[in-house]
Amino acid sequence: MDGDPSRRDRALASLTGLAIGDALGMPTQSMALAEIRLDHGRITRFVDAGPHQRIAHGMHAATITDDTEQALLVAQLLIEGGGRIDPLLLAQRLVEWEAAMEARGSLDLLGPSTKAAVLRIQQGVPVSEAGSGGTTNGAAMRIAPVGIATPPGSLTALVDRVVEASSPTHNTGLGIAAASAVAAAVSAGIDGATASEAVDVAVDAARQGARRGVWVAGGDIAARVEWVRSWLPLVPAASRLDALFDVVGTSVASQESVVAALALASLEQDPWVTLGDAASVGGDTDTIAAIAGAVLGAVHGMAVWPGEAVTRVVRVNGLDLEPVVDGLLALRDAGAPVVPGAAATPGPVEPPAAPTEPE
């Protein structure tokens, strides 16, 4: 299906890196930097949720959260739709996903922006209006499949796809700019861009995305990424996590966590070290590490992820990512929406049995 093994390798590494980062950040999500240091020190491997972990209490090491699950949900919708996502179907699938989580007694439910938008759609509010309050990172955390399925040659076309996948729940300039940045960085990486070049493309896409949707006050994603990526390397390595936590912010707000993730991804250091930093920085660590993992995987390919970590995250979560990658790359090759059903469909992914944090 794909004649360029190196490109397929990068695409697989992107989804794998997303899952690895997500699982590394699972035990530290929504914790303060000081609490993480008390429970774990610095994250250097998969660990169980610690004593201060409230959302994912009792979860075992290497378990993914909603970041990976919702990204795979978007991937399946893209493949089923031949490159297009029906907004009503997206809302329906998110509701079904949440119901499955509730049935299992999980707290891994829809986040505030997504929940509010889905409820509005169910109440008859037009899809074009339902996501007008969505400014969190929920769209950005699940957007990597759009980057895999869409080449970066036309950023306008890529941002169009991001809007389709995001606007039902995050139809604001902030939400779309953040998701556009992540999708563009992943797409550029798969085409062979370096991390720095991928973040350059991310900035350009964020500028375009900021002009879409409803304007909401907040720090401009593109401007913040440009500033942080030039500032962070000047901060002594021992102080970088404190600087990100205190100055940039690591909350679910797009202009904090997504900016922090791209800033970390742009650092010239071992990607495994970067994901450890992302999982240790405090705040929305699972999303920050998942986004950084998706970008760095696309840039570097599978060889960058330790084989033991890949094997473990796949086994613990029952992941089958290769059919997903093949389906998404078929859409990328087509360069335009194709007939639904022409690409492979991903196998089912079992959700984690314990609670994780919603975005």
Cα separation, 338 vs 269, in Å, equals: 39
The partner residues of 136 in beta bridges, in order of sequence, read 253
Q: Whose CA is closest to 204, among 187, 180, 224, 232?
A: 180
Q: How many residues does the chain have?
A: 359
Q: What is the CA radius of gyration of the chain?
A: 18
Helix axes 112-122, 87-103, angle to 10 degrees: 110
Contacts of 226 (CB under 8 A, 6+ apart): 203
SS3 214: strand
Which residues share a beta bridge with 172? 214
Tell me the residue type at 74.
V
Question: Worst-scoring range by mean pLDDT, 123-132, 162-171, 175-184?
Answer: 123-132
- Neighbouring-strand partners of residue 31: 283
DSSP classification of residue 234: G
Phi, then psi, of 304 in degrees rounded to 5: -80, -20
pLDDT attached to residue 109: 63
Domain boundaries in the chain?
5-334
Residue 316 main-chain phi, psi, to 5 deg: -60, -35
153 is written with which tokens? 């040659």
Residue with tokens 């469909």: 345
Which among 136, 132, 107 has a CA at the least distance from the CA of 249? 136
Q: Is the pLDDT of residue 1 over 50?
A: no
5-334 topology per CATH: ADP-ribosylglycohydrolase fold (1.10.4080)
Question: In this model, does residue 350 exceed pLDDT 80?
Answer: no
Q: What six digits make up the tokens of 83?
A: 């490159």
CB 161 within 8 A of CB 328: no
Looking at residue 198, its amino acid is A
* pLDDT for 105: 58
Structure tokens at 281: 């920085």
Per-residue pLDDT tens for 292-341? 999 999 999 999 999 999 999 999 999 999 999 999 999 999 974 433 33
* Measured CA distances, 30 to 257, 272, 359 (Å): 12, 21, 11
3-state helix, strand and coil shares in percent for the chain, rounded to the nearest 5: 60, 0, 35
From the list 229, 218, 298, 234, the residue with the least C-alpha distance to 260 is 229
Residue 114 has pLDDT above 90, yes or no: no
pLDDT at 173 over 70: yes
pLDDT of residue 171: 94
pTM of the entire predicted model:
0.90
pLDDT band at 286 (very low <50, low <70, confident <90, very high): very high
Contacts of 124 (CB under 8 A, 6+ apart): none
